Amino acid sequence: MRPARLTVVTAAAVVAALTAVTGCSEKSDASGDGTIKVAASDSACEVSTKEFPAGKVTIEVENKGSKVTELYVLFPDDRIVTERENIGPGTKATITAELKAGDYEIACKPGMKGDGIRQAVKATGAGTVEKRSPEADAAVAAYRKYVQEQADETIPKAQAFADAVKAGDVEAAKKAYAPSRIGWERTEPVAESFGDIDPKVDVREDGLEPNQEWTGWHKLEKSLFADNKIDDADKKLAETLMADLAVWQKKVGQAEITPTSMANGAKELLDEVATGKVTGEEERYSHTDLVDFKANVEGAEKAYELLKPVTSKTDPALTAELDKQFAALNNLLEKYRPNKAAYEFTSYDKVGEPERKELSDGVNALAEPLSKLAAAVAK
Amino acid sequence: MSESVSEQDGAPDGAHDGAPEQAGPGAPSRRAVLGWGGAGLALGAAAAGGTAIALGSGPDMVSAAAAGAAVPFHGEHQAGIASAVQDRLHFAAFDVKTKDRGELIQLLKDWTEAARLMTAGQPVGEGGYGGLPEAPPDDTGEALGLKASRLTLTIGFGPGLFAKGRFGLEGKRPGALIDLELFPGDNLDPARSGGDLCVQACADDPQVAVHAIRQLARIGFGKTAVRWSQLGFGKTSSTTPDEQTPRNMMGFKDGTRNISGTDKAALDKHVWVGAGDGSDWLTGGSYLVARRIRMNIETWDRTPLGEQEDIFGRDKGEGAPVGKSKERDEPFLKAMKPEAHVRLAHPDTNDGATILRRGYSFTDGTDGLGRLDAGLFFLAYQRDVRTGFVPIQRRLAKSDVLNEYIQHVGSAVFAVPPGVRDKDDWWGRALFA
């Protein structure tokens, strides 16, 4: 983790916010009251009009179903234009948005789960949303799904860890520690884009600001692996960790993601390896650095694979090099994985200096061409 | 710092073949070149070509007064050997990571292109700024606006490159590229020794030298990895004997009798590999021995002056040999103590063995015991390691009284290919032909 870091993903979010604001300044040519009515039920999401003038749009949603629902207005790549949560059965809500001309989707999410029931809509008039290639949109949408899945799959694993801590079972907690972090490590740049969560769950002792309370995985790591004990404060921290991760799980799907932020996010995952894992700083008590290492590489590879339909056209030499270097680094990591069926790696304190140098060389070999991926995406 | 002696020379008084020469058209600053865009590139190329012609086959001597100028990259020999020694050094040894011969060749071509640009004072690739905001620039940028600063980049090939079954070069390993024996007293750190490739970057501005190695390391990621590197800050010997002789970290003048970079006869005899020497691809090249020599600075500083002078065989102020009054007076070896450093290192003591030294002082802060981690980063070029460095070092390692104050902690040897002839040529082309 890196506290207080302006990630590319965050920067992209800022840019997107500005875009939305400029959208506002465009003169609205909405006629009449311009209100769009949405009738949400447990099985349907009926929109009163599929086409409306660009500009300020008001959406009135009525939940006619039996489940609590949510309403989203989405860009084609699943980025969220606006949303409203917790619309109870039988209640109404009004949502406003500034929409440039272009294609959107309106989604109702009965039970507040899944991708929702979607309707394609179109804002018409002057100005169009910058078109991205269908491949790029598909990559972003798939990556958004991946990020959400990683969060969803992490929660039960983190819960098992937290439960062991709360039960005072040191050995069980030690065993559950590294697996509880895998999903987080795979998608860390996105998680970091929510500046408030990362410092709560993934900060190391040396990363604390004055008067900042140390919470999260690494505090528990120290208790378990350095002090070999669990006290009442730790049990409380396990609950705090779960509460913070729940916020992450809820927010992560809303992150601003663009093709270039995906590419640079992949590079940032390798940066994480280069600065924290290869040095053994990240998991200094548990020495499970290679588990994080593997997860970071997997997350980077996922983003890269999803972008490949784009970059294999714009820079085939780069994708060939990246294929090769991902394979090389994965092969190198396999040397430290005694049981190929398990997600367990050699304890990093057992990895000697020459081997660490070899790992570092492998990271450099991959990260350098990976830093060129964003340019290939932007071509 | 054993061989740093002032006696390593065959040609005492300078019958110089040519006067030091300017780099020709003044080196444009990097910023100016950037501003000119393509025109700047063209001018740089023309300047380099023109100068090379003006110099003929002679070494590229740029006087120290012209610090900031560009040293021609193209020529019969690589720059950075006989060239006037610059003030700063960044030396790096690399392991080759790729197993693919074609990829290694492409790397050498890419490095050559980058070296051609940087020695002309220009950034690599598309430059340091102005490109896509989403992507890192090709050049890291810390040398933008700095002059060429007489940057020279000199490549060498280590023994590992010729290993059997690696790149098909086993038949091309020169006999003189030996694996150095372990000399008595050596305490070599593997992490500071060896390497498949080396690049010596010398410049008058440390930032320019560091920048150059950094760019090459970056271009090399995936194909090569830096094995070790060394910064040097004060030349400990010069190839310009008409200028003031520099001093080493022990306070003694060093390189008084070094081979002059303009002494073509001495260079041909002792430094450049000749056509009949056994490896055609290396003709016009040389061999480099690099040694990191740590000095026990604190104990040296507590050594009485008389003893210090006895150890070297020269006085500390003037640098005159024992019994003589001037630095450049012919030394009378028998006047020195039998185990004096200068006496043992002198060609007369070693059957005429003569090497060209280009070493630098280094200080890498302090070690964990609070001692200055300092010494001499010894660099010596020679026509044959077996008749150059080896006999001298054997004698020094056995008897030199200076050994009480020094320890060799790093070691490497490289075959240094001839110069890059023109814009279509590249480092090592003859080796891979």
**Sheet of strand A45-47, all strands in order from the earlier edge strand to the far edge:** A45-47, A35-40, A55-63, A92-99
**What is the C-alpha separation between B4 and B257, in angstroms, rounded?**
10
Whose tokens are 């102005």? That residue is B130
Among the partner-chain residues A325, A366, A374, the one whose CB lies closest to the CB of B135 is A374
- Give residue ranges of B with CB < 8 Å to any A CB: 95, 97, 131-132, 134-136, 191, 218, 221-223, 225
Whether residue B15 is predicted with pLDDT greater than 50 in this model: the reply is no
Contacts of A377 in chain B (CB under 8 A): 134
Using pLDDT thresholds of 50, 70 and 90, give the confidence band for residue B6: very low
Residue of B nearest to A12 (CA): B134
- Binary contact (B222, A374; C-beta < 8 A): no
**What is the C-alpha separation between B112 and B423, in angstroms, rounded?**
9
Strand A35-40 and strand A55-63: the pairing is parallel
Residue-wise pLDDT for B111-148, tens only, equals 999 999 999 999 999 999 998 888 999 999 999 999 99
- Binary contact (A365, B135; C-beta < 8 A): no
- Binary contact (B134, A367; C-beta < 8 A): no
- Binary contact (A361, B136; C-beta < 8 A): no
Residue-wise pLDDT for B203-259, tens only, equals 999 999 999 999 999 999 999 999 999 999 988 777 887 778 889 999 999 888 899
- Binary contact (B222, A321; C-beta < 8 A): yes
Among the partner-chain residues B134, B221, B223, the one whose CB lies closest to the CB of A264 is B134
Q: What is the pLDDT of residue B369?
A: 93
Q: What is the pLDDT of residue B293?
A: 97
Contacts of B195 in chain A (CB under 8 A): none
- Binary contact (B134, A260; C-beta < 8 A): yes
Provide Rg for chain B, Cα atoms.
21
Residue of B nearest to A375 (CA): B135
- Binary contact (A264, B131; C-beta < 8 A): no
- Binary contact (A371, B136; C-beta < 8 A): yes
**What is the C-alpha separation between B138 and B258, in angstroms, rounded?**
40
Q: What is the pLDDT of residue A27?
A: 35
Whether residue A28 is predicted with pLDDT greater than 60 in this model: the reply is no
Residue-wise pLDDT for B292-308, tens only, equals 999 999 999 999 999 99
Residue-wise pLDDT for A71-98, tens only, equals 988 888 887 888 888 899 999 988 877 7
**Average pLDDT in chain A:** 88
* Cα of A250 to nearest chain B Cα, Å: 28
Per-residue pLDDT, averaged over A95-107, amounts to: 86
The neighbour count for residue A85, using CB atoms within 10 Å, is: 13
**What is the C-alpha separation between A259 and A306, in angstroms, rounded?**
9
Contacts of B218 in chain A (CB under 8 A): 368
Using pLDDT thresholds of 50, 70 and 90, give the confidence band for residue A347: very high
Q: What is the pLDDT of residue A11?
A: 40
Per-residue pLDDT, averaged over A152-176, amounts to: 98
Whether residue B32 is predicted with pLDDT greater than 70 in this model: the reply is no
CA nearest neighbour of A187 among A222, A223, A143: A143
Whether residue B168 is predicted with pLDDT greater than 60 in this model: the reply is yes
Q: What is the pLDDT of residue B19?
A: 37
Per-residue pLDDT, averaged over A243-264, amounts to: 91
* Cα of A69 to nearest chain B Cα, Å: 38
pTM for the structure as a whole:
0.80
- Cβ-Cβ pairs closer than 8 A, A with B, add up to 40
Residue-wise pLDDT for B408-430, tens only, equals 999 999 999 999 999 999 999 99
Is A329 in the B-facing interface, judged by CB distances under 8 Å?
no
Per-residue pLDDT, averaged over A3-22, amounts to: 41
Whether residue B402 is predicted with pLDDT greater than 70 in this model: the reply is yes
Whether residue A261 is predicted with pLDDT greater than 60 in this model: the reply is yes
Q: What is the pLDDT of residue A129?
A: 58
* Cα of A102 to nearest chain B Cα, Å: 25
* Cα of B376 to nearest chain A Cα, Å: 26
- Binary contact (A375, B131; C-beta < 8 A): yes
Q: What is the pLDDT of residue B40?
A: 30
Cβ burial of B368 (10 Å; 0-12, 13-18, 19+) is exposed
Contacts of B110 in chain A (CB under 8 A): none
Residue of B nearest to A370 (CA): B135
* Cα of A192 to nearest chain B Cα, Å: 19
